[in-house]
Amino acid sequence: MQFVLVIHHGTFPLPGTPKAETITEEERKDVYAGWAAINKMDNVQGGPPLSLPQNAMTVRVQNGETITAEGTYQGTTVGGFLLVEAEDLDAAIAIASSVPQARLGGAVEVRPSEKYW
């Protein structure tokens, strides 16, 4: 089965921001090691890295009119996506739990991949 993991960055400082300078070298290495392990998994495919939230543009349509707003939708910070091939939901959850953001103040949504058309 295919699952999409939606990675919500959470409270851990975003790379490239002033708060990222507060992270110790040990914490940084731990996060990088976690991502390196995930990137070695044959059944996981990463999506492209996303820009920082302040570079986002949210688009909605109301009454046929396109409305844009700077920033993320409802203030959430999605850090990225992973596509996972897993035997079942429990196996996908096990992979999601290894994503560093899951333990660093963020969360990872696990959604079955669907074909709608």
Contacts of 97 (CB under 8 A, 6+ apart): 108
pLDDT tens digit sequence for 68-86: 988 887 767 888 899 999 9
> Does residue 8 contact residue 96 with C-beta atoms inside 8 Å?
no
How far is it, in rounded angstroms, from Cα 11 to Cα 91?
A: 26
Would you state the pLDDT for residue 17?
84
DSSP states of the chain:
-EEEEEEE-TTSPPTTSGGGGGS-HHHHHHHHHHHHHHHT-TTEEE-PPPPPGGG-EEEEEETTEEEEEES-GGG--EEEEEEEE-SSHHHHHHHHTTSHHHHTT-EEEEEE-----
In this structure, of 16-20, 28-32, 41-45, 53-57, the range with the lowest mean pLDDT score is 53-57
Catalogue all structural domains in the chain, each as residue range(s) with its CATH number.
2-112 (3.30.70.1060)
How far is it, in rounded angstroms, from Cα 25 to Cα 31?
A: 10
